[in-house]
Amino acid sequence: MRGHIAKKHDRYYVVLEHGIDPSTGKRRRTWHPVGTKRREAEQALAELLEQKRTETYVEPRKLTVAQYLVDEWLPVAKHELRLSTFDSYQRNTRLHVVPGIGRIGLQRLRPLDLTKFYAQLLATGRRDGKGGLSPKTVQNIHQMIRKALEDAVQHNYVVRNVAAAAKVPKAGKAATDEMHVWTGEELRSFLSANRDCVHWSAWYLAANTGMRRGEILGLRWRDVDLDAARISVRQAIINVAYKVHRSDVKTQRSQRVVDINSRTVAVLRRQLGVVQGYRAALGDTYQDHDLVFAKPDGSPVHPDTFSKAFDRRVAKTSVPVIRLHDLRHTHATLLLLAGVPPKVVSERLGHATVAFTMQVYAHVIPGMQADAAAAFGDFVFGDDDEGDDTDEEVHDDEE
């Protein structure tokens, strides 16, 4: 491996020789612009030769961030990611990354460029011009960029992953701030007032199991054991670019078995009768996907349609406004308030760890701690009020 320093006009370059290109028979050279001082060029030459010797050298490329993400990285990542994740990556790249930092050369991208980009997204990132993106959304964009640049390092496009040194906004308590839950009385009131809705059985199941929207809509009869009062969560119906797709559940821990109570079993038995009625009426034209909750013709319910129907019914019912996903939070919160161990709650929800469950539902902990303190006192001391007398005696001794 050889190299030398060249000067054009008032600028120095390091020129590396890579031997003969077998496809063209010509010498391969790469020119590395340095600056206006020869000492800097000499130092750069030594560093580049050392990189070549240790096989960490990266040839200069005129590839921009946009060209790398759109033309090279996303087409490969599509086969490695969940469909919904890929759709999110593609949308964030098109709407935010390309307009923001797409013109910067991939090898010239700096941590500061990303830090400024994230700050801009927080301030004015919304495409409708109504302010900035949430810290959680910016974090998601950062995670995508970090993964893309990590792959660029592995493919020898860049020397290091500059995203690792960028400053990323903290999500803080955004997720918990958005969470709203019903009391048990409010949940009963909503379910009682909306029995006439075609989605009532699905909402009842969501409230009694904490299952996600996609898991409810993707539930199949083969995964329901009514005699054992047990449901196996195996697949989901998701919305990608407003099209309905079947998907595996969110994570490996999301594949779980959820026990249901006798009331929920009765609701599902009635739902089975409804489905069988549709099958009999439509005959061969029924689209049998084995779904517990489907359209009358058997085809999957669109997730957005499911959520919007819930929103309309909530607005017409005398209960606080919550989202469909908040039925999951309501289920977990009421279980914790009822004294169900956090580990059991975590397993029902399909969370990765119990610690994550307690972090999400930290708002329940103060009340649980107060109940625990009272329970301990009642169990150990009962109606004994000697504690007050003891405090007074100790006080007298100290005097």
Indicate the residue among 315, 334, 359 that finishes a domain: 315
205 and 286 inside one domain: yes
191 and 301 inside one domain: yes
Question: Does 387 map to a domain?
Answer: no
168 and 211 inside one domain: no
Indicate the residue among 172, 197, 224 that finishes a domain: 172
85 and 167 inside one domain: yes
Q: How many domains does the chain have?
A: 3
pLDDT at 398: 45
* Residue 267's CATH number: 1.10.443.10
Question: Does 386 map to a domain?
Answer: no
What are the beta bridge partners of residue 240? Answer: 243
204 and 300 inside one domain: yes
pLDDT at 378: 82
Question: Does 11 map to a domain?
Answer: yes
165 and 81 inside one domain: yes
* Residue 101's CATH number: 1.10.150.130
pLDDT at 399: 46
Note down the domain range covering 153: 65-172
Question: Does 349 map to a domain?
Answer: no
pLDDT at 171: 64
22 and 95 inside one domain: no
pLDDT at 251: 67
200 and 297 inside one domain: yes
Question: Does 109 map to a domain?
Answer: yes
Question: Does 29 map to a domain?
Answer: yes
193 and 311 inside one domain: yes
192 and 251 inside one domain: yes
87 and 136 inside one domain: yes
pLDDT at 69: 97
pLDDT at 174: 46
191 and 307 inside one domain: yes
SS (H, E, C) the chain: CEEEEEEECCEEEEEEEEEECCCCCCEEEEEEEEECCHHHHHHHHHHHHHHHHCCCCCCCCCCEHHHHHHHHHHHHHCCCCCHHHHHHHHHHHHHHHHHHHCCCEHHHCCHHHHHHHHHHHHHHCCCCCCCCCCHHHHHHHHHHHHHHHHHHHHCCCCCCCHHHHCCCCCCCCHHHHCCCCCCHHHHHHHHHHCCCCCCHHHHHHHHHHCCCHHHHHHCEHHHEECCCCEEEECEEEEEECCEEEEEECCCCCCCEEEECCHHHHHHHHHHHHHHHHHHHHHHHHCCCCCECCECCCCCECCHHHHHHHHHHHHHHCCCCCCCCCHHHHHHHHHHHHCCCCHHHHHHHHCCCCHHHHHHHCHHHHHHHHHHHHHHHHHHHHCCCCHHHHHHHHHHHHHC
pLDDT string in tens for the chain (399-residue length)? 588 888 888 889 888 887 787 778 888 888 878 888 899 888 888 887 887 777 677 677 789 999 999 999 999 999 888 888 999 999 999 999 999 999 999 988 999 999 999 999 999 999 888 899 999 999 999 999 999 999 999 888 888 899 999 999 876 554 455 789 999 999 999 999 999 999 999 999 999 999 999 999 999 999 999 999 999 999 999 988 778 888 877 667 788 999 999 999 999 999 999 999 999 999 999 999 999 999 999 999 999 999 999 999 999 999 999 999 999 999 999 999 998 999 999 999 999 899 999 888 887 767 777 777 777 788 788 766 555 554 544 444 544
